[in-house]
Structure 1
Amino acid sequence: MAKAAGGTKNPARTSVWLQGKAPRGGGRKGDQPSGLDRDRITEASVRLLDAEGLAKFSMRRLAAELNVTAMSVYWYVDTKDDLLELALDAVCGEMRLPDAEAPAGSWREALRALADEYRALLIRHPWVSPLVGRFLNIGPNWLAFVVAVQRTVRGTGLPPHTQNGAISAVFQFVYGFGTIEGHYMARCAEAGMTQDEYYREAAGTVEDELASHGAMESAKDLLAARGDATVEEMWERDFRVALDLMIAGIESLLEQEKRLEQEKRGERAGRGETPGARQEL
């Protein structure tokens, strides 16, 4: 039976996907409890995390959900962190990834699709966002997502030294947007209100308490521009505008790289150089 370990001393070198700890579809040999396996435990973990959140999640609570003892769970995972990693990668598998054989030039559609899937994941499972920065994220589903992102950004034609920046710009934005949206929806659910009801009550309170503050005067045009849109429509519109700006930024960078390359060619031509001339010298 696995030892019920606590925290890790070196999280940079520790993961359920390393050290032979990744699930292989059967659990441990010996007198392990019947009716359990890692898939079932992981599925129950996801349900609990969705229903009660990360702060309330515990091995004892999970065991009660499975109707087993807490020590029974430790036949299949070494630590709570291992289980959280398994749950995190399991929900990452919900994301639909673009076809790897998509035609060249379709990077905009693929990038939008990946951004939409990641945002939806963060909204659907608010506990995902704090875990993304906690673990190495090297499970099979997460790695498939990473490969899809890298392939899509590579397909833009950006030079390698700019590709990491493009990935960061788009997906750190999506991470932040999806995290805030997901947490807002969680607050609404805790308050027993719809998104629109919560927004109206919160906005009314802010207007009453901060009526004389400069921030309200500054935001007047922005608030008026929202019109009669629902909160859901506001989220969607803001996300689309922001993502359009990210894509426009990539297009602008592409144009900049093209201009720089043209200038270099012009300089070489001015010096009487031709492609391959240096190699002949």
Structure 2
Amino acid sequence: MESAADKAKQSLRTSVWLEGKPAARGRKSERSDHPTGLDRDRITAVSVRMLDAEGPAKFSMRRLAAELGVTAMSLYWYVDTKDDLLELALDSVYTEIDVREPVHAGADPDVAAGSGTDSDWRDELRALAISYRALLVRHPWVSPLVGRFLNIGPHSMEFSTAVQRVMRGTGLPAHGQMGALSAVFQFVYGFGTIEGHFVQRCAEAGVGQDQYYRYAMGAIHEQPEYQGRFDQAEELMEARGGETVEEMRERDFTFALEVLIAGIEAMRARG
């Protein structure tokens, strides 16, 4: 009989990266259920493609096996659970974020590396924030999985390391750097999540973002109880400028990010 401790251990699954999986998974084998030409990288890539197309709700080992043209049991030679695959897929898309430290014009590469100078952290922070937002919009399934797993895969950790490097360069005291990091990247996470879901909803409805926006606002205006509440909101939306939904959203994101950068500068000035 399974003990309560065993059940608790199973429910407290940590990470595919911490569970002692052999590094050489996918090597050649004489096992009959190991199909030729299949490896963990290919399985992960197809998983990402399926998640992009249908989301995590419809993702299953059986559907993945059918897409790969193998039996579902053969996948377990590479991973133990579906969660393992989701975690591998999640980490793999972090390669889309450029985390390389830029070498600034006229700078000595040996000096620039790791310098975190006052003149460059703002641009580096903007670049990482913009790239992270694009990732969340491009792959709407990523946002719910970010809070589900530890995100300690190699590519995720490279992103985390880059963010921490930039925060050290801001000149904020050590005790404030994690708070500033949270302010910026939790904002980006929320903004990118909502944006990604909106883009996905428009795609599923087969309409453009502007068309969907006009339809939604028209439906709201037809309801008298909402009219007064949205008058002020419409004034604000008109004031922010932009001819399309994407332009308005871009202006909002850019301005909000600049507010956060200004906040970091202000807090640094306070000492």
Q: What TM-score does the superposition give when structure 2 sets the normalisation length?
A: 0.87
* Greater alpha carbon shift after TM alignment, 29-38 vs 126-135: 29-38
Question: Which residue of 179, 191, 196 corresponds with 1:177?
Answer: 191
1:119 aligns with 2:133: yes
* Number of residue equivalences: 249
Task: Pick the structure with greater CA Rg.
Answer: 1
* Greater alpha carbon shift after TM alignment, 221-230 vs 32-41: 221-230
Structure 1 residue 248, shift from structure 2 partner: 0.5
Matches within 5 A, 1:103-142: 104-105=117-118, 106-142=120-156
CA distance in 1, matches of 2:224, 2:196: 26
Contact 1:188 1:198 in 2 (8 A): yes
Structure 1 residue 8, shift from structure 2 partner: 3.8
Change (3 A) 1:156 1:210: farther
2:98 match: 96
CA distance in 2, matches of 1:166, 1:201: 38
Q: RMSD across aligned C-alpha pairs, in angstroms?
A: 1.8
CA distance in 2, matches of 1:188, 1:175: 20
Change (3 A) 1:210 1:228: farther
Uncovered stretches (5+) of structure 2, i.e. residues with no partner: 1-8, 103-112
Letter in 2 for 1:231: V
Structure 1 residue 33, shift from structure 2 partner: 1.9
Letter in 1 for 2:96: E
CA distance in 2, matches of 1:22, 1:144: 22
Letter in 2 for 1:55: A
Structure 1 residue 212, shift from structure 2 partner: 5.1
1:202 aligns with 2:216: yes
* Greater alpha carbon shift after TM alignment, 217-226 vs 136-145: 217-226
Question: Which residue of 35, 46, 54 corresponds with 2:37?
Answer: 35
Change (3 A) 1:71 1:180: same
Uncovered stretches (5+) of structure 1, i.e. residues with no partner: 1-6, 258-281
What are the superposed Cα offsets for residues 20-65 of structure 1, whole Å, 9 maximum, x if unpaired? 2265363474412222100010000000000111111111110111
SS of 1:99's equivalent in the other structure is coil
2:254 match: 240
Matches within 5 A, 1:1-281: 8-11=10-13, 14-21=14-21, 23-24=23-24, 26-27=26-27, 29-31=29-31, 32-99=34-101, 101=113, 104-105=117-118, 106-210=120-224, 213-227=227-241, 229-257=243-271
Letter in 2 for 1:49: L
SS of 1:55's equivalent in the other structure is helix
Contact 2:220 2:226 in 1 (8 A): no
* Greater alpha carbon shift after TM alignment, 218-227 vs 170-179: 218-227
Change (3 A) 1:210 1:24: farther
What are the superposed Cα offsets for residues 229-267 of structure 1, whole Å, 9 maximum, x if unpaired? 10110111000010000001000101111xxxxxxxxxx
CA distance in 1, matches of 2:29, 2:261: 51
Identity %: 62
Letter in 1 for 2:97: M
What are the superposed Cα offsets for residues 211-238 of structure 1, whole Å, 9 maximum, x if unpaired? 6543113313113325551011011100
Contact 1:98 1:114 in 2 (8 A): no
Q: What TM-score does the superposition give when structure 1 sets the normalisation length?
A: 0.84
CA distance in 2, matches of 1:147, 1:228: 35
Contact 2:221 2:227 in 1 (8 A): no
Contact 1:96 1:117 in 2 (8 A): yes
Structure 1 residue 82, shift from structure 2 partner: 0.3
Letter in 2 for 1:248: A
CA distance in 2, matches of 1:144, 1:227: 36
CA distance in 2, matches of 1:179, 1:22: 34
Contact 1:16 1:22 in 2 (8 A): no
